[in-house]
Amino acid sequence: MFRWQTVLGVVLGLLTASAILSLTGNAGRRKPNSGPILSECDGRLRELVIHYEPTAKPMVAEVYRDFLGALEADVTVYVVCPEDTVYEDFRSLLGPVKCRLSPIVAHHPITTWSRDRWVALAPGSNAEPTTLWMPRGEAAEEIWPARAGDERVGHDIAATLGPAVHPRRSSFYFDGGDFLADSKNVFVVPRVLQRNIQNTVRSRDEFLGTIAAEFKRNVILLAESPDHHAGMFMASAGNNIMLVGDPIWEENLFPSNSWMASQPKRMAS
């Protein structure tokens, strides 16, 4: 027969255990310290993430075969797919490669635009994870289920790779491709400011200060640019050298290029 002291002891034990679990759970959810945005031009590729969904096969098959076929055996490529069977389709189109392939199965619709989704921030220390800084929302997610699925991919990656990756939702609207970083600077296309001013920030200075604090780089906000991701018209070659392309130059060199001739002139920088 239980005495009241026994019942009291059980209750106190349960309360103590609950408090410990609550404290350790909160510690596990501690926001990790993040380092700077990863440079586009320094070091060697070690890990990267791509998306694959079968409707994009005609567009991406040749690109993926050429790119992944050039990677060495010490590179791991995580392939985000909507379903297991889609990963098998990806392997069949790819052919033999030396790099290591590892699937991340989302179990929801996605697009093939992996670079748009988030920004990778280096670990703050050896004990910290890589942070995936994700946008506040996706353009057209209300009417495009695959875009809504893209918004979840950062969490899908973290769920698969465990404590090595931490997903963190930003208060800003952006695409990952809107930023281009080297070892000192991060270049920002103007549409990021346009999407956020008087929406998520009150001023240009507040915007620049937040970006600088997050990325831990000198921020260079471009005054104007083509309405595309930064990597579509500029690239960092390291040693403070930037390569910048102008579509109009290409049109003058190759006037018979039917694709370029069909593009609006506003693409020119």
What string of pLDDT tens digits covers the 269 residues of the chain?
A: 445 444 334 433 434 434 433 333 444 456 788 999 999 999 888 999 999 999 999 999 999 999 999 999 999 999 999 999 999 999 999 989 999 999 999 999 999 988 777 999 999 998 899 999 999 988 778 778 898 999 999 999 999 998 999 999 999 999 999 999 999 999 999 999 999 999 999 999 999 999 999 999 999 999 999 888 999 899 998 888 999 987 677 777 766 655 445 555 443 33
Residue 82: partners with Cβ closer than 8 Å, 6 or more residues away: 53, 105, 106, 107, 108, 109, 110, 149
Domains by residue range for the chain, with CATH: 32-170 (3.75.10.10), 174-269 (no CATH)
Q: Is the separation of the CB atoms in 80 and 106 below 8 Å?
A: yes
Q: How far is CA 226 from the centre of its chain?
A: 21
Give the pLDDT confidence score for residue 255 in this predicted structure: 67
- Per-residue DSSP letters for 18-55? HHHHHHHHHHHTPPPPEEEEPPSSSS---EEEEE--GG
Give the pLDDT confidence score for residue 29 in this predicted structure: 55
> At what angle are helices 57-69 and 84-94 packed, to 10 degrees?
60
Residue among 190, 168, 166 at smallest CA distance from 179: 190
Give the pLDDT confidence score for residue 263 in this predicted structure: 52
- Per-residue DSSP letters for 114-174? GGGS-EEEEESSTTSPEEEEE-S--TTTTT-HHHHHHTTHHHHHHHHHGGGEEEEE-SS--
Q: How far apart are CA 162 and CA 61, in angstroms?
A: 29
